Amino acid sequence: MSITLKTADEIEKMRAAGRLGAEVLEMIAEYVVPGVTTEELDARCHEFMINTQKTIPAPLNYHGFPKSICTSVNHQVCHGIPSHKTLKKGDVVNIDITVIKNEFHGDTSEMFVVGEASILANRLIETTQKALYLGISMVKPGVKLGDIGHAIQTFAESKRYSVVREYCGHGIGRVFHEEPQVLHYGKPGTGITLEEGMTFTIEPMINAGKRHVKVLSDDWTVVTKDRSLSAQFEHTLAVTANGFEIFTVRNNETIEPTYIPPEHFSS
């Protein structure tokens, strides 16, 4: 599959889908509390997407995935299936949302703290979000994807964390997952060269322990092998003529769609 450069009209549709994806995360935030089940969170998101937004939850039935969102708790890295499991104080959970509107996808995820998290969890979450912002800040025509992956990896490892390598960001548009693959590790000067009109996600998965992961018997949920905490943030963005535009910025983020102040990714 080749990389598709999006037209101005397609970019506008992706902008709309991205805002709707962010809106789901904004809506669900107040419900991530001790005692709630991830299945309840899924049901609220599903109802909001279908009935309020008139969007399609992209994960539902995607290659057989049974729910409308992914909820990955504590040592779960990604693709966690919402269930009857109750969230308790101190848990951290990644909620991953992808909506389809007018054929285009808006894909985004955020880390939530249930009640009050440990110092370790808060540091991991902060580092992961900074790693995402660092990667995005580098996006512009002429940059190699390997430069972005290397920067994310170097930053995370400088904090004594590890980067998951089995899962990565991806091109997105009318298709949920398309080219290019956006690795969160790599060597400078390698990989494809960014061009205006490319649209993709950056979504680093950072572990407090070792990088190694495994898939559980449900064939979806990915966990850290050493059961260490994992965190992830994700945005959908486009390469513009002189930089980037993030389609999925939330109201609780003090960044702009086209600008991230340096203090948001500095050490």
pLDDT digits (tens, 9 = 90+) for 98-120: 999 999 999 999 999 999 999 99
* Region 191-206 average pLDDT: 98
Give the pTM: 0.97
* Region 251-264 average pLDDT: 96
pLDDT of residue 266: 85
Give residue 209's identity as a one-letter amino acid code: G
pLDDT of residue 1: 61
Tokens of 261: 């102040």
User: What are 216-246's pLDDT values in tens digits?
Assistant: 999 999 999 999 999 999 999 999 999 999 9
pLDDT grade for 172, boundaries at 50, 70 and 90:
very high
- Which residue reads 């540091």 in tokens? 123
pLDDT of residue 167: 96
* Region 4-13 average pLDDT: 98
pLDDT grade for 204, boundaries at 50, 70 and 90:
very high
Give residue 39's identity as a one-letter amino acid code: E
CA distance 50 to 126: 32
Contact 131, 207 (CB under 8 A): no
pLDDT of 18 > 80? The answer is yes
Contact 138, 182 (CB under 8 A): no
Burial 6-30 (b: 16+ CB within 10 A, else e): beeebbebbbbbbbbbbbbbebbee
